[in-house]
Chains A and B, each alone.
Chain A
Amino acid sequence: MTKNRSVQMGPALLVKLFGIAFFAYLFLGFMLLPCLNTLASIFTTQNASGETDPLAVIRFFFAGNMGSFVWNSLKLAVCLVITVNVVGVSIVLLTEYFDIKGAKILRLGYMTTLIYSGVALVTGYLFLYDSNGIITTLLVNAFPGMNPNWFSGFNAVLFTMTFACTSNHALFLRNAIRGIDYNTVEAARNMGARPFKVLWKVVFPTLVPTMFSLTVMTFITGLCAMSAPTLLGYDSINPEIVRLAGSSTADEAFPQARAALLSIILAMFTIVLLTVLSSYERKGHYLSVSKTKAKLQKQRIDNPVWNILAHLYAYILFIIYMIPVVMIIIFSFQTYGAIRMKKLDLTNWTLINFFGTQDYQYLTNRGTYKTRKGSISGLFANEATLGGIKLSFILSAIAAALACVIVVVACNYIFKNRKKKSGTVLEYCLLFPWLLPTILICYSYRVYFNSEDVWYVGGTNLYYAGHVRLLIILAYTVVKLPFSLRMIKAAFYAIDEELEDAARNLGSSSLATFLKVKLPIILPSVLAVFALNFNALFTEYDMSATFASSYGTTYAMVIQSMCREEGLYGYNVNASGRRCASTVFIMIVSGIILYLVYGVGARDLGERLEIRDRRRKRLEKLKSFGKKSKEVNV
């Protein structure tokens, strides 16, 4: 019998060894070594005479203005925590807790950040609120005392990010509030608590854990802000790292080591915050004890004044969320002139920004139009724009899928070895990138793999030419591992252990059980994670900017370059139209993906069968109706 088993162990052992080798390779080669190299590079700085001076950068940090970048980032992070929480909690309460008319429409508006984010959103805001932007012009006309340049620097970044960073609130806080047992609210009311007292004493305490996590995440988002500070001009850490990474010793003192130091500082902040968060989470906290939860019912605000104010507030927020989206959509159907002048021309609509194949015209200083040869105006005909979208599409899809596959395999192992050390070790390895700011990982990759000395990638320079695409995929995948793990692990928890036993008992092998029983159960969650990963990576800017290379011009970089063209040179008006059009295109793609995952994919088998049933009955009804009418005709 023992002999028999050792033979069975053969292939299993091989698979196990391969698995260990793969994850060790992934962790050591693409997480630990590149980052350690960055850390080490701080202390290997050479001074003017070529001697190694380990503390040169640190002295430079305290003597120069490098500290101001850190300070600016901290300031932004602290302010964002306040504003994002205020807006985030507001939008969730207004749509889920209070009885506000039109809550469904409002929710759609508040959720637009799920499909409209990153560079696209920042450029959209710039388009509206810039000194000659539509809204600013409107406001200045209404209030002549207003400063038309209000949308710049810190104010602009804070304003933009406040509304751009509420996606997590819209998703997770919404779930938390919907998970409240309504009976607890009723019990509090029954004991004599007024509605606001209930909100404060019963509802809020249950939201604290979620709020705490969201606060930490927002703080980190603020610290690591990239697209908004870059495009709106605010000197925070990340844009400075990217600038330094592209600089050389000929221009300034040891830019590489300074970039490394800044990214390590960022990493230290992140590590401290996440340690606080995880120790808080580990402490354990509020758990719903009710076995039969009652569904939350919307609370009517009885005081008419408060009710009107709440509605007003809700719709002002709605307008702020919707204006950029609506304007981008409208302007994507406008002509160059209208976009250039930022004035709607309701008499002149066009599809040229989407499908135009002709060379574009531009407006000269004299106010006449000229044609520029060889440049194409339509999104789907312009090679550069389409190329960026295609590249982003492919890279994001591959990386999002890779992250999911790696995590599913790992989770299967982690759950089988829950009580063993190996499971825990694997889990922590995959969570490791969470501790590192994206910029540190990318910067480290850029520096570390920009050489032919890394033996474990075959001595290939991964930053060179087309290889950079592989490097981007690697970075995308590694950066998305922690999020994917947290989400997919939760899905694994939902698998009843007895299901696995049942399948084995009916004669199913380990592999067949995984493929036929477990995978179908977790598939909706895996697809959701894939979609969220894909959407985030598709429009991601931080990593592309760090890897900036003509072979790695992703969608976000294309948008940035279009923005630069129209801004700096003023003549490439056409780029604006194409930018609007491509943003609309992205919104459609992201929207469809989210709908498929959350709308269609989240249905369980019972719901799907019911829908099919209803459809069949409707069809039969139609058919029989057709027959009847025929009979009548006869």
Chain B
Amino acid sequence: MIRLNDIAVKFGDFTALHDINVHVKEGEFFTFLGPSGCGKTTTLRTITGFIEPVSGSVVVKDKDITHVPIEERNIGIVFQSYALFPTMTVYDNIAFGLKLKKLKKAEVARKVNDIAKKVDLSEEQLKKAVSQLSGGQQQRVAIARALVTEPAIICMDEPLSNLDAKLRVQLRNELKQMQKDFGITTIYVTHDQEEALTLSDHIAVFNKGVIEQIGTPNEVYNHSATEFVCNFIGDINLLQAEAVSALNRAGGRVDPAAHNYIRLERIHVNVDPKPGSVALEGVVDSREYYGLYIKYYIRAAGQIIKVIEKNDGVNIYEVGQAVQVVMDPRDVMAYPAE
């Protein structure tokens, strides 16, 4: 569906992107994830045509669109700020693209009303100015506006970042549902790893203008290709020499020369170690209360090891309490030290 081949983008002397190769399949939800300034939005803007790459090509449905003008690409976009036209009503905002295509008035009205129904905007709301709508409603308008011209692809640039936490989760689910219903190929930009993990079919993790890994949420999370990816996604423990040698004593094959990581949820407290696992003696140093779970900072094997435990009222440990930390060497992700 979409192929980015060896894309490089420069701003003056600064190389913003290089060696970008992505393949997005038809109907897929594909996420660009990374910290701010990593090049994910630049890549998105290269696809929509706001930025022209110095080399490489953008191919959509086997057609090279690298130099096709923005307005002829038929790729919808939902902006971070929504970029709704403040001088137009909701209806006029959605109809803008259709009118430019010189569609008949009745046709425009039909399409606008159809899409409005699908994104759950009432007829009353269509008559309003965008400033009269709430953040969540404005976001629906932005999505409706991007979808109404029936683009082949829709791009979303951090569309949830302007909303409060609760609405963000609610709309995230709606977004996924809408994408499924419309079946439209979606490229989604975010710096929020939770969003990326819950929404995506595939994730491309960006760092400093290059892609570190492309994979399914599970691949990216549990089999992070690089040290950057494993650090960026989720919380993780970097194991020090003492812990590594303990693991190896228990029969693990952990390379002491490498950087070895283990996820928090892969470590357990006060359970009987399975064969091959190792139990370390430790003391609870501090804890953070999250409601759903509790994060413990446990001093063991000469370092602090972070662990999360479900807040089920059973496994509650006090600060200063002696505990056993149990981990399996097969859960360790190792990266060569540079």
Q: Please list the residues of chain A having a beta carbon within 8 angstroms of any beta carbon in chain B.
A: 1, 5, 496, 498-499, 501-509, 512, 516-517, 520-521, 523, 604-606, 608-610
B81 touches A606 (CB 8 A): no
Min C-beta distance of B76 to chain A, whole Å: 7
Which residues of B have CB within 8 Å of A5?
67
B83 touches A502 (CB 8 A): yes
CA distance A45 to B139 in the complex (A): 72
A498 touches B79 (CB 8 A): yes
- The answer to whether A609 and B83 touch (CB under 8 A), given A505-B75, A507-B97, A512-B100, is no
CA distance A92 to B128 in the complex (A): 37
B79 touches A504 (CB 8 A): no
- The answer to whether A506 and B128 touch (CB under 8 A), given A498-B79, A501-B50, A604-B86, is no
Among candidates A496, A507, A521, A604, residue contacting B100 with C-beta atoms closer than 8 Å: A507
- The answer to whether A496 and B128 touch (CB under 8 A), given A5-B67, A505-B75, A507-B71, is no
A504 touches B71 (CB 8 A): yes
Among candidates A1, A503, A610, residue contacting B96 with C-beta atoms closer than 8 Å: A503
CA distance A537 to B49 in the complex (A): 46
Among candidates A498, A520, A610, residue contacting B83 with C-beta atoms closer than 8 Å: A498
Which residues of B have CB within 8 Å of A496?
81, 83
A506 touches B81 (CB 8 A): no
A501 touches B79 (CB 8 A): yes
CA distance A505 to B48 in the complex (A): 7
Min C-beta distance of A514 to chain B, whole Å: 13
Which residues of B have CB within 8 Å of A523?
87
Can you report 9 A-B residue pairs in the complex whose CB atoms are below 8 A from each other?
A1-B67, A503-B85, A503-B96, A505-B71, A505-B77, A520-B85, A605-B86, A606-B128, A606-B132
- The answer to whether A505 and B76 touch (CB under 8 A), given A5-B67, A512-B100, A521-B86, is yes
Q: Contact flags (1/0) for B136-162 with A, using CB distance below 8 Å?
A: 000000000100010000000000000
A609 touches B76 (CB 8 A): no
B71 touches A521 (CB 8 A): no
Min C-beta distance of B140 to chain A, whole Å: 15
A606 touches B129 (CB 8 A): yes
Which residues of A have CB within 8 Å of B79?
498, 501-502
CA distance A325 to B207 in the complex (A): 68
CA distance A376 to B130 in the complex (A): 56
B110 interfacial contact with A, CB 8 Å = no
- The answer to whether A508 and B100 touch (CB under 8 A), given A1-B67, A604-B86, A606-B128, is yes
CA distance A509 to B73 in the complex (A): 13
Min C-beta distance of A202 to chain B, whole Å: 32
A508 touches B87 (CB 8 A): no
CB-CB nearest in chain A for B97: A506
Task: State which size class the interface on B falls in.
Answer: 20 to 34
CA distance A235 to B223 in the complex (A): 88
Q: A509-B71, A604-B87 are in contact. List 7 more A-B contacts (CB 8 A).
A: A5-B67, A503-B96, A507-B72, A507-B149, A512-B100, A605-B88, A605-B89
Min C-beta distance of A62 to chain B, whole Å: 55
Which residues of A have CB within 8 Å of B96?
503, 506, 508, 516
Q: Please list the residues of chain B having a beta carbon within 8 angstroms of any beta carbon in chain A.
A: 48-50, 67, 70-73, 75-77, 79-81, 83-89, 96-97, 100-101, 127-132, 145, 149
CA distance A502 to B132 in the complex (A): 20
Most buried by A among B67, B73, B87, B129: B87
Min C-beta distance of B84 to chain A, whole Å: 8
CA distance A257 to B79 in the complex (A): 62
CB-CB nearest in chain A for B67: A1
CA distance A606 to B73 in the complex (A): 32
Which residues of B have CB within 8 Å of A499?
83, 85
Which residues of B have CB within 8 Å of A504?
50, 70-71
Residues of A contacting B: mostly: helix
* Those 9 A-B pairs whose CB atoms lie nearest each other, nearest first: A506-B97, A520-B87, A606-B129, A498-B83, A605-B129, A502-B83, A606-B131, A507-B71, A504-B70
CA distance A516 to B92 in the complex (A): 11
CB-CB nearest in chain A for B94: A506
CB-CB nearest in chain B for A505: B77
CB-CB nearest in chain A for B79: A498
Which residues of A have CB within 8 Å of B88?
520, 605
CA distance A503 to B71 in the complex (A): 8
CA distance A604 to B129 in the complex (A): 9
- The answer to whether A508 and B129 touch (CB under 8 A), given A498-B80, A501-B79, A520-B87, is no
CA distance A503 to B75 in the complex (A): 12
A501 touches B83 (CB 8 A): yes
A507 touches B132 (CB 8 A): no
Which residues of A have CB within 8 Å of B128?
606, 609
Most buried by A among B71, B72, B75: B71
CA distance A516 to B85 in the complex (A): 9
CB-CB nearest in chain A for B99: A516
A609 touches B89 (CB 8 A): yes
CB-CB nearest in chain B for A517: B85
Min C-beta distance of B150 to chain A, whole Å: 12
CA distance A516 to B129 in the complex (A): 16
CB-CB nearest in chain B for A604: B131
CB-CB nearest in chain A for B85: A517
Min C-beta distance of A434 to chain B, whole Å: 31
CA distance A508 to B69 in the complex (A): 11
Min C-beta distance of A600 to chain B, whole Å: 15
Min C-beta distance of B41 to chain A, whole Å: 11
Most buried by A among B50, B67, B72, B85: B85
A505 touches B89 (CB 8 A): no
B100 touches A605 (CB 8 A): no
Min C-beta distance of B73 to chain A, whole Å: 8
CA distance A520 to B129 in the complex (A): 14
Which residues of A have CB within 8 Å of B81?
496, 498
B131 touches A605 (CB 8 A): yes
Which residues of A have CB within 8 Å of B130?
605-606
Which residues of B have CB within 8 Å of A505?
48-50, 70-71, 73, 75-77
Min C-beta distance of B187 to chain A, whole Å: 13
B129 touches A506 (CB 8 A): no
Which residues of A have CB within 8 Å of B97?
506-507
CB-CB nearest in chain B for A2: B67
Min C-beta distance of A49 to chain B, whole Å: 64
Which residues of B have CB within 8 Å of A605?
86-89, 129-131
Min C-beta distance of A189 to chain B, whole Å: 31
CA distance A517 to B116 in the complex (A): 22
CA distance A581 to B254 in the complex (A): 98
CA distance A161 to B172 in the complex (A): 62
CA distance A1 to B49 in the complex (A): 15
CA distance A608 to B129 in the complex (A): 9
Among candidates B50, B87, B131, B145, residue contacting A506 with C-beta atoms closer than 8 Å: B145
Which residues of B have CB within 8 Å of A609?
89, 127-129, 132
CB-CB nearest in chain A for B89: A605
CA distance A507 to B77 in the complex (A): 12
Which residues of A have CB within 8 Å of B89?
605, 609
B86 touches A506 (CB 8 A): no
CA distance A516 to B86 in the complex (A): 11
CA distance A134 to B49 in the complex (A): 72
Which residues of B have CB within 8 Å of A498?
79-81, 83
CA distance A496 to B50 in the complex (A): 15
CA distance A609 to B89 in the complex (A): 9
Most buried by B among A502, A503, A506, A605: A506
